[in-house]
Every structure is written in structure tokens, then in C-alpha cells.
A and B are shown apart, each in its own frame.
Chain A
Amino acid sequence: MFENLSEKLDKAFKVLKGQGSISEINVAQTMKQIRKALLAADVDFKTAKSFTSRVQEKAMGEKVLTAIDPGQLLTKIMKDELATLMGSEQSDISLDGSPTVILIAGLQGSGKTTFSGKLALLLKSKKNKRPLLVACDVYRPAAIDQIGVLAEQVGVDVYQDRKNKNPVEIAQAAIKHAKTNGHNVVIIDTAGRLAVDEQMMKEISAVKSAVNPNETLFVVDAMTGQDAVNTAKAFNEKLNFDGVVLTKLDGDTRGGAALTIRSVVDKPIKFIGTSEKMDGLDVFHPDRMASRILGMGDVISLVERAQQQFDEEEARRVQKKIAKNQFGFDDFLKQIQQVKKMGNMKDLVGMIPGMGKAMKGVDMDDDAFKGIEAIIHSMTKQERENPKLLNGSRKKRIASGSGTTVVEVNQLIKQFSQMGKMMKMMQGGGAKQMMQMMKGKGGIPGM
């Protein structure tokens, strides 16, 4: 599923690539496959249809039939087209107004409250704001408690009034409260509601007209299917929202709903949710999302995330060591720690172009390194620096020290030497070869 769409596109392009010359029929067939792939990624039926016909038109215009590499040309056309549809640049939220009022709306369970907490944290830590969270979900059991807990977690104040069941009044009172207490941002969390629930839709319109927000955000689950069309349209008609928040993108959905929403309501996606934790909020990069849908790998994200975490000097030091064959177990340990800091292994590897497919069926556990770490910690300093020292009796000692077996220790030593080779390959850009090696040779224990 993770690489579902790109696999299908690959297949689609293979039809083109496999043939010396291609015909209009081939292109049409390929487009059909691409449309299927988009549908499997939950892009709305009509959006997928119009998208593929536009691509087909352009492909014909750009003489894809006579191109040397039609597959590549088509990919480029598609990527450009996707990027256009996604919006060409990222867009920030407005922080005008004193206080800035931000209204959060969406279906039940889409992730509004969690997002509200994340946004409060972001504005507090990155923009130096003093946000006030407002509990306007007066319906769902313990909704007020939930936002209270999150407010405490991120260290901001919350406004609540358990006796009042009127969200309009609560929101108005909250803004008053913000003004007298020096809060410069007010984030209003509201109850989840269905677009067809007229009464509830009226309610949120009333909240909106009462508080006149600087920013109204529509929160939608990235896993949403064909219903994204109806819901986005209906909420937009009622609220004329300013932007979209796409949540739960740390799942393995391709997120076709993003494309749908962009194409039916011309509003930017402003944030994406990437974990359950309060810092799991990212700005939306349209081009990256286009790449994700196309399965080309989110290279830029990978590089950026890696850069954030990697001490560059350390990286250079290690590279030298690898080059000189001086890479020891201590360096290995450090590498593991770096990788762990970067987040979920599988996510990271999936971001490397071409790796998504290689990773299919390979289970990567975040705890995969536990055994390895234990073994290395049981080695002496000399042994870590010079693995050649590891003879039978030393191995036995290490095994009992780390609660593992000699077999496991041997395995690690073997894989460590492979790792060295892999890293050399990585320096040469052979990521795919590396994966093959890991898969073919049984991989690192627990992987």
C-alpha cells in the first residue's frame, strides 16, 4: 500500500518504455492505468478523470509519441500538473488581528483538538505568541478535558466554561478573556460535525460570524476517501475557510484526498499532521505532496530532516573513517543513535527514491537496534575500535554480558562488516544495492 500508487505508475510507464515506438493507444491505455492508480490513492473520481485527460492532452502537445524517453517525459508532465493542482507555493496562516482569532472546524475524529494543541505549541515556540486555547466542543464526552490536558502539555492557557452549552457565547467570552489577559492568539477548537447536519453547520457559521476569525482552518483526515469532495465543498460553502489541515499523514495513505480538496475548493493546505505528539506538525509543501502521490520519494524532506539532526562534522568524520576502513563499533553505535533520532526507520528509508518499493515487506522495527546496542555496550574499548580482536572467548564474554548468544554476536560482527561495505556504497549512491544486500543476507537482527 505504501508504494501502491507508484508501483502502478511504474507499471503504467513500463508499458510505454517497453515499446520502441508508442502510439496514441498506448498513451490512452497508460492514462487509464494512471487514473486507476489515482483512484486507488483515493483521488476523487472526477478529479482523477479530468487530471488524466489534461495530462494526456499535454503529453500529445509535447510530442510524447516521438520522445526518446516517453516515460520520463510523462512523469515530468504529471508532476508539473500535480504541483499546479496542489498549489505552487506553500502558504502561511495570517497572524493579523489583536488578538489573532483562529477557528478550527471539521468532521468528527479528523484531529481538530490535537491540531489545536500543536498549533498553540508552534505559535508559542516559533512565533513567540501567547496563545489561548478555547474549548468549544460542548458535546463529545470529555472533549473539554482533552483540550485541557493538551493545553497543559504544551504550556498554554485554556478557556473553558463547563456550565455553558453555547459555543458562540463561549467563543465570545474567550476573546474577551484573551484581551484582558494578554493573549495575542485565540485558537477555537470546535465539535466535530457532519456536513449534512444542518443544525451543527448553522452553529459553526454562527460562531464564525460572532468572532470574525482571521483564519478559519478546515481539518481533514488524510485517509479520507471519495467523501472528501462532498465534505470539503459543504464546509467551504458554509464557512469559506482560509486553509486546510491534513492530518495523520504519518500513516501510509497516499493522501489522494489532498488532491481532491485542492481541486474542488481553491484553498491552500497550510499544515500537515505527522505524529500524535505535540510537535508533529509541519508546513505543507505542495511539491513534496505531489512527489508523494507520484511515489518519487520525498527527497527534500529527507535531506532537511537529516540535516536537522546530523552533526555535519560528525558525518564528515565518519565518512573519512569509512574511507580509511577505520569505522569501528563506536561509530556504528553513533550512527544508530543518529538514525533513531531521525524518526521511524521505515519512513526515512521510504523517502529515498526507489527505496519505497525495495522496502516493501521488509519489517523495520524502531526497537530493531536494541540487541545491537546491548552487544556493543558489552565490548571493551579496544574491541570496539578493532573488531579483529574478537576471538571466541571474547565473543562468549560479550554474549553473556549482553544477554545474547554467541550466534547473535557473530551475526552482528558479520553484519557490521557488511555495513561498512554498504556505507561505502551509500557514499557512491548505491542505496538500492544496499537494500538488496540487507534483504538477501538476512539483514540486521530484528529487521
Chain B
Amino acid sequence: MGIFNFFSKDKKEKLDKGLEKTKENVFGKISRAVAGKSTIDELALDDIEEALITSDIGVETTLKIIGKLEERVAKNKYINTAELNDFLKAEISLLMKEGYDEIPKVDGPYVIMVVGVNGVGKTTTIGKLAHQFKQQGKKVVLGAADTFRAAAVDQLLIWADRVGVEIVKQDMGSDPASVCFDTLQSAKASGADVVIIDTAGRLHNKINLMNELTKIKNVMAKVILEAPHDVMLVLDASTGQNAIEQATQFTKATEVNSLALTKLDGTAKGGVVIGISDQFQIPVRYIGVGEGVEDLQVFNKNEFVDSLFN
């Protein structure tokens, strides 16, 4: 049993509920589009396109999916709703990368560095994540390396208190790399299992800020050779196609190797992660479904796609 298998039944229900709107909008629509028709005509294709596009799946990925669908229809004109759903489900699944559900064993603390643009939900995700690790009996240390945004350290501090984990911080305005250095040293000395580093939000086209992020990342290896073991990019589900550029630039600066998709409790679908996961071959590991401490779920590809269809 992986340490991430902590979902109670009602959490699953919350995910289903969150995704219900998506299901209604995307696949309900597609089903209606092909219902009673033996072929997928131009109009139906338009509807499918609309359904995918309005989920922020993006033109490129949508065309990719539709292309596959057209191939399928060319082979066999008669495709019913169930087959269509299965087919789309399988195609979208193919594009998504699967995340692992257990932190790999490492020497010393496992270090997660959290990055992303402003306001996507980095700090909140860290608070929820810390809670989940704590529930698993892990010793967690947070590093308050957002020393820039007003009251950012206080925000993380409140989360640390709320979930009862340690935090390493310095004054506002101090060097974030130095905060990381301190955090890792302290975590190493105290035998922590997990370190989560919060960083200041930054727009990915600000070269200086992205360089700073690289520097922050690199300093960690001075304390723990392999650190950070995980660089997690947080994406806001309501973000459109710009998320692709975010993924591109953050990957360039910090070799992102996992994604968290927040705010899925709203009406936004977050479909842009499908293309990102495909293009960069990085898994979506978590989804945020609210502002509470429990509102973080491990992303499960099949569950995700299933929830869209069932």
C-alpha cells in the first residue's frame, strides 16, 4: 500500500462531484452529438471540438484527439456513444503521464521544491501536502523561501501551525537561496523525512526571476546532493494556454518533474494539463479541490479520465 492511499470514500465523492460539471459539459455534449447517428458528421465533430476546446484542452491537443477519432471513424463508420466514450477515454489516457504514489526512498530527507506563477496556489498546496505527509507519520519541514510577497512567510507559518509541522524561515526580503540552505541543513540535522520549499510566485517570462529560481534550486545540492528530488510546478486550473509556456519556462529553469493542478473545485476544467503532461512527459501528481487542509488529492490518471466519462 502506497503512502498516498489515504483517500476516504467521501474524498473520492468530492472529486467526482468536482468533475461532474466537466462530465456534463464535455462528454454529455459529445454523447448528445453522436446519439442516434451512425456516423460522426461535420456537426458532431464541431461539437466535440467545442467540448474539448472549452475544457482548455487547446487547439493542438484537440486536433490530435480529433484526428485519432477521424481515423477511427474512417475505419468503421458505425461507432456508438459507448464506443466513442471508450475511445476518447483511451486516447486522452494515452496522452497523460502516470504519477508514482509513493515517495522514493532516499538518503536523508526527500526534498520537494514548489514553483509556479503568482497566485496559483503554491503555498496552499504545500500546507495541504504537509498535512498529508504528517498524517502518514512523516516528519515534515517547510522552507519559507518566498521572502518577497507581502506576508508570504506569515501565510506559510500559519499553515505550519495549523498542520503542526516545523518551518524554517528568515526575515522578509532575505535571500531565498539562503533560506533553502538553512532549511535543508536543519531538516538533515533533525532527521526529517520530507522537506517542502515554498518559493515566490513569478511570471515565467521574467528572466532574472527565473535565473534566481535556478540558483535557489542549485544551492540545495550543497546540503543534500540529490536535492531537490522533486520540482513541482503548480498550475491553476483556470489558466488557459499560457500554462504551456509556464511549463516550458519553469522546466527550463528548474527541471520540473511533477505537476499539481489547483482550483478544480471551480468551473474550470484544467484541460491544458493533458497537453502539458504529453509534451513534457511529466505526471500530474496532485489536484487541489478546495481551500481546506484536506482538499488535496493524489492525481490518478485513470480515475481522472474515468470520472470524466462515468
Tell me the A residues contacting B by CB distance below 8 Å.
Answer: 1-2, 36, 39-42, 44-45, 107-111, 113, 139-143, 145-150, 153, 194-196, 221, 223-228, 230-231, 234, 248, 250-253, 256-257, 276, 344, 346, 363-367
Contacts and interface: CB of A to CB of B under 8 A. Distances in A.
Interface residues of B, number: 51
Contacts of B243: 223, 225
A44 B56 CA distance: 10
B260 interface: no
Contact of B240 (A148, A224, A234): A224
A133 B148 CA distance: 21
Interface in B52-85: 53-56, 58-59
Nearest to A365: B207
Contacts of A276: 118, 148-149
Contact of A366 (B21, B208, B239, B263): B208
A40 B84 CA distance: 26
B119 interface: yes
Contacts of A2: 205
Contact of B59 (A39, A146, A251): A39
Contact of A196 (B59, B155, B267): B267
A139 B236 CA distance: 19
Given A145-B150, A146-B151, A223 B239 contact: yes
A367 B208 contact: yes
27 contacts: A1-B244, A40-B241, A44-B54, A107-B263, A108-B263, A109-B118, A113-B150, A139-B291, A141-B127, A142-B152, A149-B150, A150-B150, A195-B266, A221-B238, A223-B239, A224-B239, A226-B268, A228-B238, A231-B238, A248-B203, A251-B203, A251-B205, A251-B242, A252-B204, A344-B206, A346-B207, A363-B207
A251 B240 contact: no
Contact of B239 (A221, A234, A250): A221
Nearest to B237: A227
Interface string B243-268: 11100100000000000000101111
B245 A226 contact: no
B269 interface: yes
Tell me the dominant secondary structure on chain A's binding face.
Answer: loop
Which 10 A-B residue pairings sit nearest by Cβ, starting from the closest?
Answer: A225-B240, A109-B119, A42-B240, A145-B151, A141-B158, A149-B150, A142-B155, A227-B268, A146-B151, A142-B154
Contacts of B231: none
B240 A226 contact: yes
A251 B204 contact: yes
A146 B155 contact: yes
B50 interface: yes
B272 interface: yes
Contacts of B242: 1, 42, 223, 225, 251-253
A132 B255 CA distance: 44
A82 B245 CA distance: 25
Tell me the dominant secondary structure on chain B's binding face.
Answer: loop
Contacts of A234: 267
Given A225-B272, A251-B205, A140 B59 contact: no
A231 B21 CA distance: 14
Contacts of A40: 58-59, 241
B164 to A, nearest CB: 14
B267 A195 contact: yes
A142 B146 CA distance: 14
Contacts of B237: 227
A250 B205 CA distance: 8
B159 interface: yes
A142 B120 CA distance: 16
Interface string B265-286: 1111100100000000000000
B92 interface: no
Contacts of A221: 119, 236, 238-239
Contacts of A143: 151, 155
Contact of A251 (B117, B127, B151, B155): B117
Nearest to B122: A109
Given A224-B240, A227-B238, A107 B266 contact: yes
A227 B208 contact: no
Contact of B265 (A147, A194, A227): A194
A273 B289 CA distance: 27
B143 interface: no
A145 B154 contact: yes
A250 B202 CA distance: 11
B121 interface: yes
Nearest to A153: B150
A375 to B, nearest CB: 21
Contacts of A195: 266-267
A109 B120 contact: yes
Given A142-B158, A226-B55, 12 more contacts: A1-B245, A45-B54, A141-B159, A146-B151, A194-B263, A194-B267, A227-B237, A250-B203, A251-B117, A251-B242, A276-B118, A365-B208
A369 B157 CA distance: 39
A142 B54 contact: no
Given A225-B268, A227-B238, A45 B50 contact: yes
A33 to B, nearest CB: 10
Contacts of B265: 194, 196
A33 B240 CA distance: 19
Contacts of B248: 1
B60 to A, nearest CB: 8
Interface string B126-163: 01000000000000000000001111101101110010
A42 B83 CA distance: 31
A149 B240 CA distance: 31
Nearest to B56: A225
